[in-house]
Amino acid sequence: DSGVTQTPKHLITATGQRVTLRCSPRSGDLSVYWYQQSLDQGLQFLIQYYNGEERAKGNILERFSAQQFPDLHSELNLSSLELGDSALYFCASSEGLNSGANVLTFGAGSRLTVL
């Protein structure tokens, strides 16, 4: 157990729908990252939060949004889902913001299937 908790583990939904993925970071970690892993794109960085504030954005679609709450858990909202959004979505956490090794600890992932 990495200490990073992601729910749900699996999710099957239809095109056009909206889903929310949830992440609880490892105890003591203030930074949360979201990555998308698909067969054609590999592991792509989506967005980073640090202590409740958005700090970096990657290849995140406008249909996707995220937030980090005061208790440091984070949610990734995916709306108007398309078939191509089917992927494994990872949450990762790290201690700080931009210092040291910045080793990311990953959760087990949420596998989204859009039919």
Partner 1 sequence: AQKITQTQPGMFVQEKEAVTLDCTYDTSDPSYGLFWYKQPSSGEMIFLIYQGSYDQQNATEGRYSLNFQKARKSANLVISASQLGDSAMYFCAMREGQVRSGGSYIPTFGRGTSLIVHP
User: For the window 78-97, what string marks contact with partner 1 as x by the rule CB under 8 A?
Assistant: ----------x-x-x----x
What stretches of the chain adopt beta strand conformation (E)?
A: 5-7, 10-13, 19-24, 31-38, 42-50, 53-57, 64-68, 74-78, 87-94, 105-106, 110-114
Please report how close the Cβ of residue 16 comes to partner 1 at its closest, in angstroms.
Answer: 26
Q: Please tell me whether residue 58 binds partner 1 under the rule CB under 8 A.
A: yes
Q: Which residues contact 1 (CB under 8 A, 6 or more apart)?
A: none
Q: Please tell me whether residue 60 binds partner 1 under the rule CB under 8 A.
A: no
Pairing of strands 105-106, 42-50: unpaired
Q: Please tell me whether residue 103 binds partner 1 under the rule CB under 8 A.
A: yes
- The count of chain residues that interact with partner 1, using the rule CB under 8 A, is 24
**Interacting residues toward partner 1 by CB under 8 A:** 2, 33, 35, 42-43, 45, 48, 56, 58, 88, 90, 92, 97-98, 101-109, 111
